[in-house]
Structure 1
Amino acid sequence: MKLAERYAATVTDHSKLVIVAVLLLTVGMGIGAGAVDGGLTIAGFSSDSPEAAALDEIERNFSVAGENTTTAQVVVRGENVLTRESLLETLRFQRAITEDASINETLRAEQPVIGLSNVVATAAYYEERGGGGPPPSLDAQIDQLESMSDSEVESTVERVLDPDADTQGDPYALLSTAYEPGSTTAPARIMLVYQDTSDGPADSLSEDVIAAQVELQDLAEASITSTDYFVFGPGVVDEESGQATGESFAIISPAALLLILGVLGFAYRDAIDVLLGLLGVALVLVWMAGFLGWAGIGITQILIAVPFLLIGLSIDYALHVVMRYREATLDDPDLAPQAAMRRGLAGVVVAIGAATFTTAVGFLSNAVSPISSIREFGLVSGVGIVAAFIVFGLLFPALKLEVDRLRERLGRNPERTPFGRGERVGRLLSVGATLANRAPYVVIAIAVVLAAGGGVAATGIDTTLDQSAFLPEDSPEWMNLLPAAFQPSDYDLKENADYLNENFVQSRGSAQAEFLIRGPVTDPGTLDVIAAARDDLRETDSAAVRADGNLQSTDPLSTIEAVAAQNETVAAMVEDADTDGDGVPDENLAAIYDAVYDADPAAAATTIHRENGEYRSLRATVALTGTTNTRVITEEMRAVASGMEAGSSLDVVATGSPITTELVQRSLLRTLVEGFLITFGVILAFLAAIFRVRYRSASLGAVVLFPVVLAQAWLFGTMYLAGIAFTTETAIIAAIGIGIGVDYAIHIGERFVEERDGGRDPIAALQRTVRGTGGALLASAATTAAGFGVLMLALVPSLQRFGFITAIAITYAFLASVLVLPSLLVLWSRVRGEDEVSAEPAA
């Protein structure tokens, strides 16, 4: 008796014991689920690149603006947002903010709100009083504008925004880039609300801060009526993204469940089998959740992909067990349920076991990744895949057998034919065998050409990460026809983010580049190098240029200029050190740095690092356009840094959140691609070994794996045509395609060789394979592809991409297994000198 037959005999002879044992194991594992952190977090990625180290050094050694704060941006837009009415509205809005306890308690202590209305009101206040004195309170600012006529406010706006005026604050930073300098009208302006996050969690916003940002939206609706407005901030993004995800699943889940139940019902034609399969899926997910708890792994965005992989494999395993069981009954109607299950399980357990081993090991190969989130993804996937085998290779056949015994005793055990052995479905599935008999070379040539095209297209796939691509979008019109309980809310997050990026110069950490300048920073000419870098930055596409034509940047030179404007001693030293009259000090830099520190140590600490009396490094920052991708930003900022190094003895590193994000993205993609290669290598070696042991042919392993490679190439070509970037998110989804594709191919290859060993010629063996095993694959692929394809109806783009790529990956895996693999198997048989193929497929 072969090992597979002994295994099947053990499961069927001790079915009750198997059921009890696996259920007890499931309970034991499931207990850990209670310890799982249910809060979804962003997967933590880090890089050990020089750029990341430089950013850490900047945060350690310089006073970084915005530390322990988060910013909500209130955008006011309309035909003219500089009218007296509009300016007063936003001042009253600020007063409502301070009077709202839930918002006020989250605001930072110093200057919590900054807006152009404050600049204008303060300028008018000082002008009326002859200048000097403490800054006016918010109430005083409101009283000031209320006491002025429209024309008086317009005159003040004109003076404040005069490009040559020495206005306190930076009004151009609060205006859209569409504003024309000197004009008294503007289409949009921005108000910044700063919130204190020092008492909150390190890697996320507190609930109070998020709630306060959401409350800002309600206050704005009541306060700003003369113009359009929107509130944008990380708290608003978190709140609305979570709400959109929930509403998406509220719409999708019933549709997906109905589709899955419909397809499974059509394939099984037995409600009991459908329920048993769904029970098995639920138990596999219990194993996964339990492992997360026992291992202390929290739920991250990346791990969301794992349940989908396990659901797909579980449905597939269940279908194969049931259909092979039914095939055994159909081939020998006199078999008792136990004997039929024994024969069916023996015929499928090797394929299920091989698929489990290859996919589990493939995913576990990510456990060697230096990135913790990828390690966790590989580990959880591997354990979940093994759990799928335990449930569907042990519990499910035993439970199915006991249920059928009970139904037989009750006289309610209907006979069901295997899905692929029906006349219509059988004819459809036989296409692959027919083509393999008549034109195998043509089939393979077409498949390879398409794969080659996909491979070429893959080199052109965008690999940049667009953060706005993850924001929810407004629902399509047809969703308004849904029942009121299912109609989603209106979402303008992506539209608002795009508007901000296109119309305003952002100064957030995620929207600026940093330069760490080390070495002899007191040498003559150092500041000239920085001044030249400003000119280089203006020539880039990445650096943002404000409406007044200037960069929004800070560096040691701008710090010195700002302090010199307020301090005569510093101004005199700068003038003496400027030997060529270009306004940039050329010598005596250490003394100038000392004077700046003496005059304004807080300002100096933002751009000049001094340690034990020695000047070690300098810092420069520049705001970036929101429409430039991280790859271009990285390349351009590195070029500017190289230019600074070329003209000096300085060591300059271009860094910042966009650059480190780009480098982490590259590292992740490299890790995942390496993981793919390891996965294919491990799977190829295992398949070669198992087919060598079982059927004396190691080459069959490569034959079985080849269609999986083709399917991946087709998938990448489709991603290119659909304009979907190859990012960490999509790479992990593609890994699901590999796992399921290997599973499908193993089932076809294993069944074919089994039929050949039964004495059938290649085409007859293929007919049995594609009508039997292929039927289970068709039902499995249709179920999972339809279920995941429904995700394309989601409001969240990441869910849409997930559904599209997963559905396409599953479809291609199925087509490669039932259309391409049969032709490969026929040619493999010919090369081995086995029986000649018949003129027509066997019936």
Structure 2
Amino acid sequence: MDPADRYAAFVTAHSKAIIAVVLIATLLVASGAGSVDSELTIANFESDSTEAEKYDQLRSDFATEGENTTVVQVVVRDENALSKDSLLEGLTLQRAIADDGDVNATLRDRQPMVGLSNVVATAAIREAEAGNGTPNGSAGAANGSAPPPLEAQIAQLESMSESEVEATVERVLAPESAAAGAVDPYSLLPTDYEPGATTTDGRVLYVFQDTSGASGDDLPADVADAQLEIRELSASTLTSGESFVFGSAVVDAESTQATGESFAIISPIALLIIVLALGIAYRDVFDIGLGLAGIALVLAWMAGFMGWAGIGVTQILIAVPFLLIGLSIDYALHVVMRYREASADDPEATPRTAMRRGLAGVVVAIGAATFTTAVGFLSNVVSPLASIREFGIVSAVGIVSAFLVFGLLLPALKLELDGGLERLGLSRRRPAFGRGGVASRILSVGAEIADRGPAVVIAIALVLSAAGGAAATDIDTSIEQTDFLPRDSPAWMDSLPGSLQPSDYQLREQALYLNDRFAQSRDQSRAELLIEGPVTDPDTLERVAAGRDRAANASSAQTLANGRLQATGPLETIESVAADNETVAAVVDDADTDGDGVPDENLAAVYDAVYAADPSAAAETIHRTDGEYRSLRLSIGLSGGANTATITEEMRAVATTIEGDSGLTVTATGQPIVEELVQKGLLETLVQGFAITFAVILAFLTATFWARYRTLSLGAVVIAPVLFAQAWLFGTMYLAGIPFTSETAIIAAIGIGIGVDYAIHVGERFLEEERARGDPIASLRRTVRGTGGALLASAVTTAAGFGVLVFALVPSLRRFGFVTSVAIAYAFLASIVVLPSLLAVWARYTDYDGTDDAATDDLADTTG
């Protein structure tokens, strides 16, 4: 009796004890589920790159104004967003925000709100104070002073006529005007605004909140609540035109709501599809119930382990339950169908005997699939990224628990349940799915092709795989942040009952509008260049100017409506301080020997003068320690629609321009660049994980098939369709325009796990049948009708169930549903259509007929 027979005999002989032990173990493990942090978080990917290190250094060395703050953008879209009424509404909103105690408590101390209304009102007040009504006067001298109180700004605008407001707007927005004060008004206007015009269709108000109490990347709860309250205040105050509020908490709230509404609509549909498909396959309500109960137990093991291990729910870990549901459905179908086959093959056999034979025939395949997929996912523990390590560990534990439930508990439960039902007079004899009818004819196609023209199938599979592999090299790997934002519901959802109709989501359109029309001030929209070394060398600032000019021509850099690059650096600091301080202006003029406005000698004296006049402004772009100047910071605003790959490439070119052949070391960094490098590192890790997975699977299958059937070459044959299916998947992603990111790479891992499972079932069943019959084609026919029936039911159930996610409101869920269902479909086709042809050719060229002599010949062929 081989190990599979002994295992099956043990399970069937001790079914009651096994049920008790496994259920008690499940209760113990699942008790940890209550400790799981179920609040969904973004997976935290940390990078150990030089750019990440320099970004941390930059934030530590330079005292930036936006440090420990988050910004909320209130966008006004009006026929004329510069009219008196529209500007006055902007100030009224600011007063409502300031009067709300909960919101006001979250605002930063200095200038918490900045909008064009403030710029215009402040300029009017300064001009009135100067008494001459000109754009110059004392306005320029007031650049660095605090703005007037909000009530004074409101009173000033209310006292002015429409024509007076328009005249002030014209002066403030005139090119090179000094009337605007410390705030650049062009940063508050659309980038396509015509300089000097007194009308425009949009403007933005920035509301800055203090996040100094934040832990990690999450906003404090009071800050998040305040952002949602600002949205309500904006809706009730800004009534003359359209407006919207954009901030981190608003994005999180709408994304969470859209995800919940998506699952509320789709989950019942998916569950109905799964139950209907299982109903067709099982044609037995008790077997369906056992299968669904088993899935619940597997998920309980997963959740319990996460609780005991202290692993919280992240976006990446959401994929694990889908993998486990797919494997659970497959395992359950194989166990039940092999049991039914054994009963049909020997009508005189008792249920316990039939279960022993059926389980012995399938447990090796289930065990091999469990081992290979679990070890493959467990290979991710070598990743330097904690979230990927957690993904691998949780997946592996869940896969092993699926074997315990469906390879151990389910057979025992079914024996006891069937025995009890038969004692009640209910017959438990059911035909195996795929052994007759339409399903049998469909499944037989693979075996018939393998008999008549296997080379054609293999050739087509190879060509498609080569095309898919070639396409994979051109798959986009960049990330567009707007691709993760919820979209408005399709028209067909309007016909749903009122309680199920989703909300209207304009978040993505609003983000695109912001990115296309306005310069952004978020960390995600800035590149940072850290300039280290001899920063007092005479040509340093000339090099910085050259780098700034190069950045101005970069497609990812943001240019304001007046044509200026949105940049903050030592040159901007020196220019700004010199405009308010005659002493600094004189030092700068003396240091500019060629008259181009850029100091080119005595830079230490220039830096000293700037620090003496305005140390806080100097500290933002010029770093010194113990009186010695160490580094400079150049911050470049980025176009909201630029992808991280382009940003990284172009900003590195800017760094090279500044560095040249000098002694300087210039590093292009910033949040977008660090994210790009993390993304690349993550993809490299996942690709390496794929390679390790396939290597482990190949080694294990080779060892298993040698131990059981004395063949060394079949492992490579069985795993080949899994590689084919992955190549087809990448080709499909390329054609569908789906980028290969960490998200889709992890989804593809599900395809590998299920694909390996399918291929092992077919390969193991074929060898078992071939050992009994010695006829490859007859063995293939029985394999595809028997094991193939379980695979067909499993593939249709899981692919259709998850495929309905393409109707979700959240793009990431849509991609998940599409890629998962396509991966499962390709895994099934590869195992049922391509693998039989590969097995037929393999059997022909190795002369394998299931006997020991054939196996010995195969060993000689493979080693000699």
TM beyond 0.5: yes
**CA positional deviation for 1:423:** 1.7
User: Tell me, what secondary structure is at the counterpart of 1:545?
Assistant: coil
8 Å Cα contact 1:553-1:620 kept in structure 2: yes
Which residue in 2 is equivalent to 1:333? Answer: 347
Aligned partner of 1:99: which letter?
D
**CA positional deviation for 1:134:** 6.3
Q: Which moved more, 1:191-200 or 1:764-773?
A: 191-200
Aligned partner of 1:798: which letter?
S
8 Å Cα contact 2:251-2:507 kept in structure 1: yes
Aligned partner of 1:723: which letter?
G
Q: Distance in 2 between matches of 1:480 and 1:218?
A: 26
Q: Distance in 2 between matches of 1:178 and 1:548?
A: 9
Which residue in 2 is equivalent to 1:18? Answer: 18
Aligned partner of 2:434: which letter?
G
Aligned partner of 1:264: which letter?
L
Q: Distance in 2 between matches of 1:454 and 1:38?
A: 38
Please identify runs of 4+ aligned residues in structure 1 that moved more than 6 A: none
Aligned partner of 2:53: which letter?
A
- Match of residue 147, structure 1, among 150, 159, 164: 159
Which residue in 2 is equivalent to 1:606? Answer: 620
Q: How does 1:781-820 map to 2 (within 5 A)?
A: 781-820=795-834
- Match of residue 565, structure 2, among 543, 548, 551: 551
Which residue in 1 is equivalent to 2:55? Answer: 55
Is 2:160 the counterpart of 1:163?
no
Is 2:42 the counterpart of 1:42?
yes
The superposition leaves residues 796-830 of structure 1 with CA deviations (integer Å, 9 ceiling, x where unpaired) of: 00000000000000000000000000000000000
Which residue in 1 is equivalent to 2:134? Answer: none
**CA positional deviation for 1:422:** 2.1
Which residue in 1 is equivalent to 2:491? Answer: 477
Q: Distance in 2 between matches of 1:152 and 1:764?
A: 94
**CA positional deviation for 1:100:** 1.8
Aligned partner of 1:522: which letter?
T
**CA positional deviation for 1:629:** 1.1
The superposition leaves residues 52-103 of structure 1 with CA deviations (integer Å, 9 ceiling, x where unpaired) of: 1110110111112311111110111122210111101111111111122221
Q: Distance in 2 between matches of 1:732 and 1:29?
A: 26
Q: Which moved more, 1:641-650 or 1:659-668?
A: 641-650
8 Å Cα contact 2:81-2:203 kept in structure 1: yes
Is 2:304 the counterpart of 1:290?
yes
The superposition leaves residues 168-215 of structure 1 with CA deviations (integer Å, 9 ceiling, x where unpaired) of: 021000001110001001121100011111123332012222221112
**CA positional deviation for 1:268:** 0.3
User: Tell me, what secondary structure is at the counterpart of 1:758?
Assistant: helix
**CA positional deviation for 1:520:** 0.5
User: Tell me, what secondary structure is at the counterpart of 1:185?
Assistant: coil
Q: Distance in 1 between matches of 2:466 and 2:146?
A: 72
The superposition leaves residues 125-144 of structure 1 with CA deviations (integer Å, 9 ceiling, x where unpaired) of: 22122257963211111111
Q: How does 1:423-462 map to 2 (within 5 A)?
A: 423-462=437-476
8 Å Cα contact 1:512-1:656 kept in structure 2: yes
Aligned partner of 2:491: which letter?
E
- Match of residue 464, structure 1, among 469, 474, 478: 478
Q: How does 1:379-394 map to 2 (within 5 A)?
A: 379-394=393-408
Aligned partner of 1:161: which letter?
L
User: Tell me, what secondary structure is at the counterpart of 1:310?
Assistant: helix
Which residue in 2 is equivalent to 1:113? Answer: 113
Q: Distance in 2 between matches of 1:421 and 1:627?
A: 55
Which residue in 1 is equivalent to 2:862? Answer: none
The superposition leaves residues 13-62 of structure 1 with CA deviations (integer Å, 9 ceiling, x where unpaired) of: 00000000101111111111111111111111111111111101101111
Which residue in 2 is equivalent to 1:97? Answer: 97
8 Å Cα contact 2:774-2:849 kept in structure 1: no
- Match of residue 590, structure 1, among 604, 625, 635: 604
User: Tell me, what secondary structure is at the counterpart of 2:442?
Assistant: helix
1:108/1:134 CA distance change after superposition, 3 Å: closer
8 Å Cα contact 1:529-1:647 kept in structure 2: no
Which residue in 1 is equivalent to 2:147? Answer: 135
**CA positional deviation for 1:455:** 0.6
**CA positional deviation for 1:456:** 0.7
For structure 2, the 5+ residue unaligned runs are 131-137, 851-864
Question: Percent of aligned positions with the same letter in both sequences?
Answer: 66
Which residue in 1 is equivalent to 2:67? Answer: 67
Which residue in 2 is equivalent to 1:742? Answer: 756
Which residue in 2 is equivalent to 1:306? Answer: 320
Q: Distance in 2 between matches of 1:663 and 1:532?
A: 26
Q: Distance in 2 between matches of 1:617 and 1:105?
A: 36
8 Å Cα contact 2:480-2:641 kept in structure 1: no
8 Å Cα contact 2:231-2:245 kept in structure 1: yes
Aligned partner of 1:582: which letter?
D
Which residue in 1 is equivalent to 2:856? Answer: none
Which residue in 1 is equivalent to 2:409? Answer: 395
Q: Distance in 1 between matches of 2:642 and 2:504?
A: 27
Q: How does 1:471-620 map to 2 (within 5 A)?
A: 471-620=485-634
Q: Distance in 2 between matches of 1:696 and 1:200?
A: 61
Which residue in 2 is equivalent to 1:839? Answer: none
Which residue in 1 is equivalent to 2:766? Answer: 752
User: Tell me, what secondary structure is at the counterpart of 2:768?
Assistant: helix
8 Å Cα contact 1:247-1:488 kept in structure 2: yes
Q: How does 1:657-696 map to 2 (within 5 A)?
A: 657-696=671-710
8 Å Cα contact 2:373-2:756 kept in structure 1: yes
8 Å Cα contact 1:529-1:648 kept in structure 2: no
8 Å Cα contact 1:528-1:586 kept in structure 2: yes
Q: Distance in 1 between matches of 2:712 and 2:65?
A: 63
Q: Distance in 1 between matches of 2:659 and 2:96?
A: 51
Aligned partner of 1:93: which letter?
L
Alignment length (residue pairs): 836
Which residue in 2 is equivalent to 1:173? Answer: 187
Aligned partner of 1:369: which letter?
S
Q: Distance in 1 between matches of 2:9 and 2:15?
A: 10
Which residue in 2 is equivalent to 1:342? Answer: 356
Which residue in 2 is equivalent to 1:375? Answer: 389
Aligned partner of 2:157: which letter?
L
8 Å Cα contact 2:294-2:328 kept in structure 1: yes
Q: Distance in 2 between matches of 1:346 and 1:833?
A: 26
8 Å Cα contact 1:178-1:187 kept in structure 2: no
Is 2:224 the counterpart of 1:210?
yes
Is 2:670 the counterpart of 1:656?
yes
Q: Distance in 2 between matches of 1:120 and 1:191?
A: 13
**CA positional deviation for 1:415:** 1.9
Q: Distance in 2 between matches of 1:262 and 1:507?
A: 52
User: Tell me, what secondary structure is at the counterpart of 1:199?
Assistant: coil
Q: Distance in 1 between matches of 2:146 and 2:521?
A: 27
Is 2:101 the counterpart of 1:87?
no
In the superposition, the TM-score normalised over structure 1's length comes to 0.98
Aligned partner of 2:343: which letter?
T
Which residue in 1 is equivalent to 2:213? Answer: 199
8 Å Cα contact 2:558-2:566 kept in structure 1: yes
Q: Distance in 2 between matches of 1:281 and 1:414?
A: 22
The superposition leaves residues 387-410 of structure 1 with CA deviations (integer Å, 9 ceiling, x where unpaired) of: 100111110100011000001101
**CA positional deviation for 1:760:** 4.3
**CA positional deviation for 1:116:** 0.2
For structure 1, the 5+ residue unaligned runs are 837-843
**Root-mean-square deviation (Å):** 1.1
The superposition leaves residues 488-533 of structure 1 with CA deviations (integer Å, 9 ceiling, x where unpaired) of: 1111111111111111111211101000001100111111111111
**CA positional deviation for 1:834:** 4.1
User: Tell me, what secondary structure is at the counterpart of 1:420?
Assistant: coil
Which residue in 2 is equivalent to 1:841? Answer: none
8 Å Cα contact 2:770-2:849 kept in structure 1: no
In the superposition, the TM-score normalised over structure 2's length comes to 0.96
